[in-house]
Amino acid sequence: MSAPGLEIRGLIKRFGGLVAVSRFDLTVAPGEIVGLIGPNGAGKTTVFHVVAGFYPPTEGAIAFEGTSLVGLKPHAICRLGLARTFQLVQPFAGLTTLENVMVGAFNRAPDVGAARRRAAEIVEFVGLGPRRDVPARHLTLPDRKRLEVARGLATEPRLLLLDEVMSGLNPTEIEAIIGLIRRIHARGVSLLVIEHVMRAILALSHRLVVLHHGEKIAEGPPATVARDPLVIEAYLGESGEAAAR
C-alpha cells in the first residue's frame, strides 16, 4: 500500500455565522494532480488557508502522510513537505529573483551557500534563468507567477498547492505554465490546483473536485465533471461547458 498523501475529513470552517466550508472531504494521493474548481466565493482559497495552517479548522481532520496538520503553524506544515502559492503574488519587490527563491530554499538548506545553489537550480527549472538577478518588481506578471511557483518549489514539497497561478495570463502564457506544472509533476510532486481556466484544469487534472457555497457538489474524472448538469448550472454556464469540450 502506498503512503497516504493529503487526507481531509469532515472539514468545517466558519467565520462568525458564515459557513465558508461545510463537511468537506478531499484526498490527494501521491503522484496525483487534483483540480479544485467552483464559483468565486465558494471556499476554495479557504480550504488552502486551512490546510496550510493559516486558519485553524472549526471542525474536521486534516492529515498529510499520516501526520495531523491541525494546530500546526504554516512553517511547520511547510517543513513536513506541503507548500502553497498565493493568488495575489507578493514577492519581496527589492530582492532579485534568485534571492526571493532562496527565501523558500531556507526551508531545508542548512546554510546560505546551499540555499543559493538550490535556488539557482529552481530558477533555471522554472525558466527564469535570464531574469535571475533582476529585482522582482521589474518582472512581468507571467514571470512573477513563475517566481511564485519557484518560491514554493524551493521548499522541496511533496505536495504543492497552486492558487490561480494562471489568472491574468493570456492563452499562450497559460500553455507555458501548463508545461511547467507537468514538469513539476514529473519531479514527483503531487499537486492540488485551484484554477478558473477550464482548458488548463481539464488538461492537467487526474481528478476534479467542485465546491459550491462551501460544499462539494461533484467529484470525478474531468470529462465527467465537466458534463455534470449541477456543475454547468453552478459554475461553467452553457458556453463554458462548450468551451470545456
Partner 1 sequence: MTLLALRAVEVAYGDLPALTAVDLVIEAGEILSVVGANGAGKTTMLRAISGLLRPRAGEILLDGVRLDRLPSHAVVERGVVQVPEGRKIFPSLTVLENLELGSYVRAARAHRRESLERVLALFPILAERRGQAAGNMSGGQQQMLAIGRALMARPRLLMLDEPSLGLAPKIVQEIFRIIGEINRAGTTVLLVEQNTRQALALAGRGYVLENGRVVLSGAGRDLLDNEHVQRAYLGM
Residue with smaller CB distance to partner 1, 159 or 234:
234
Q: How far is the CB of 233 from partner 1 (least distance, A)?
A: 8
> Do the Cβ atoms of 214 and 22 come closer than 8 Å?
yes
For partner 1, the closer CB: 95 or 169: 169
Rounded Cα distance between 173 and 4, Å, is 34
Residues of this chain that bind partner 1 (CB under 8 A): 37-41, 87, 140-142, 164, 167-175, 196, 198-199, 234-240, 243-244
Smallest distance, Å, CB 150 to partner 1?
17
**Closer residue to partner 1, CB minimum distance, 76 or 243:** 243
CB of residue 185 to partner 1, shortest distance in Å:
19
Nearer to partner 1, 191 or 200 (CB): 200
Asked if 244 contacts 227 with a C-beta cutoff of 8 angstroms, the reply is no
Only one residue has cell 505554465, namely 177
**Closer of 105 and 180 to partner 1 (Cβ):** 180
DSSP β-ladder status, 33-37 and 190-194: parallel
In this structure, are strands 82-84 and 159-163 parallel, antiparallel, or unpaired? parallel
Per the structure block, which three cell numbers stand in for 193?
A: 490546483
In angstroms, give the least distance from the CB of 166 to partner 1.
10
Q: Which of 78, 75, 2, 8 is nearest to 36 (CA)?
A: 8
- Cβ at position 126, least distance to partner 1 in Å: 16
Per DSSP, the residues of 118-149 read HHHHHHHHTT-GGGTTSBGGGS-HHHHHHHHH
Residue at grid coordinates 481532520 = 61
Which of residues 105 and 236 has its CB atom nearest to partner 1 in the complex? 236
Residue 40 beta carbon to partner 1: minimum distance, rounded to whole angstroms: 4
Pairwise CA distance, residues 7 & 63, whole Å:
5
Hey, what amino acid is at 99?
A: E
The C-alpha atoms of residue 124 and residue 131 are separated, in whole angstroms, by: 10
Q: Based on the number of CB atoms within 10 Å of its own CB, is 179 exposed (0-12), middle (13-18) or buried (19 or more)?
A: exposed
Smaller CB separation from partner 1, 37 or 181? 37
Closest distance between partner 1 and the C-beta of residue 201, in Å? 10
